[in-house]
Amino acid sequence: MTPLRSAFAPLLLVVCVLLATGCAGDSGERNVTPVSSVPIQTKEVTYYDDVAFKNPVTAWQANLTYPWTKVAYNILVFIDPGYPVFTHGMTREQTKQMYIEFRQAIPADEAIKRFNLTNTKDRSIGDHVFLIIYVYPNTSTYILDPYVTVMSGRYEKWHAVDAWVDVNNLERLASLDGVQHLEFVEYAEHS
């Protein structure tokens, strides 16, 4: 390195650090369009980083509130019309169809036939999703029974069950104090 270059190296390093942290450069206001609100209850997020605005899923997830924070975001495609389209440019309906083809979901009409269900004036049958539901260690998995359609497996040792759940029951299920997390069962095989 020449003497001139070595003299500017520390200055260049400081400028790079300032630019990377946002302390230098454009001092004007950022004109950012907020993410559209979702129909499920959301919270107001006062700070978004640049990644959130580049990735609509990250920004959408930042707005989720309890109990939806317990539910894996990809399950919410079945209940939230505000779900951001991100899966290889697929629409919401195409994304739902993908989960159906992967046998991780069943449309409502098929669930009615398969599980011998009936719609009532108080309860409408919705699409069903095949989930693994984790509970906290001091919670029995039996608290989940009233909220699932079909229990496929119970794993007390791992504090989990896998079950078919009506999407209309997701909020009630996630609201249970003992429930820790809900996510799709991967590579679901069902009878």
Please indicate, yes or no, if residue 118 is contained in any of the structural domains. yes
Which domain range does residue 61 map to? 41-184
Positions of E strands within the chain: 105-106, 128-135, 150-155, 160-166, 179-184
| pLDDT (tens place) for every residue of the chain, 191 residues total | 555 555 555 555 555 554 555 554 444 443 333 333 344 544 554 444 444 445 666 666 677 777 888 888 788 888 877 777 665 678 888 888 989 998 999 999 999 999 999 888 888 899 999 999 999 999 999 999 999 999 999 999 999 999 999 999 999 999 999 999 999 988 645 54
Number of domains in the chain: 1
Please indicate, yes or no, if residue 69 is contained in any of the structural domains. yes
pTM confidence score: 0.66
Please indicate, yes or no, if residue 138 is contained in any of the structural domains. yes
d(CA 74, CA 119): 26
Please indicate, yes or no, if residue 135 is contained in any of the structural domains. yes
Please indicate, yes or no, if residue 108 is contained in any of the structural domains. yes
Give the SS3 label for residue 181.
strand
Torsion of CA 91, 97, 103, 104, to 10 degrees: 40
